[in-house]
Amino acid sequence: CKYRTKCEREAGCLKETVCDRFDDWDKCLSEAVKTTCRTDGRRPVSSACEARCQRYDDWGKCQFMPSCSWDGECMTKTTCGRFDSWGKCLSEDSALTCAAFGRGRRPVACTETCQRFDSWDECKFRTRCEKDGGCLRETSCERFDSWDKCLSESARLLCD
């Protein structure tokens, strides 16, 4: 056996690790991790997230690996929203999915991302996602000035 998949329990979750990319000699170059978690309580709800390499270099080595995290009721998947020309991540995005908030119908989701970059690829304003009761509050900028400063924010409540 050249490669063995792994399964491990971690804080109410099951993590399955598999090889995503092998080299010509059957050596694993990059692993993918699938995380499945369940809420506690009388009516548990499951959430899943898969993290696999988002960008490889010319030699097949992973340059950016997304991640998944669980807080007991919501799953956060962090990815790169913008790369520079050398493959360096300039800005990360965080997708928050709360299956338990959806009352079993559909999950409530929101993504934190850079809404405005300046001409040097620096993030000037990030959207925000925050838990608010059984909902998510998503905040973005409605109006920017000519220096990329947010003049007016707007928030919306995302509920099922």
Q: Which domain holds residue 42?
A: 6-158
Q: Give the chain's domain count.
A: 1
Residue 102 pLDDT: 58
Report if residue 108 sits inside a domain.
yes
Report if residue 1 sits inside a domain.
no
Residue 8 and residue 118: Cα distance in Å, rounded?
42
Report if residue 117 sits inside a domain.
yes
* 6-15, 28-37, 44-53, 94-103: the lowest-pLDDT one: 94-103
Report if residue 114 sits inside a domain.
yes
State pLDDT tens for residues 106-146: 789 999 999 999 989 999 999 999 999 889 999 999 999 99
Report if residue 89 sits inside a domain.
yes
Contacting residues for 133 by C-beta, under 8 A, at least 6 apart = none
Tally of CB atoms within 10 A around 54 = 15
Q: Which 3 state secondary structure label does DSSP give 102?
A: helix
Report if residue 61 sits inside a domain.
yes
116 burial type by CB count under 10 A (0-12 exposed, 13-18 middle, 19+ buried) = middle
State pLDDT tens for residues 67-88: 999 998 899 999 999 999 899 9
DSSP lists the bridge partners of residue 19 as 31
pTM (whole model) above 0.95? no
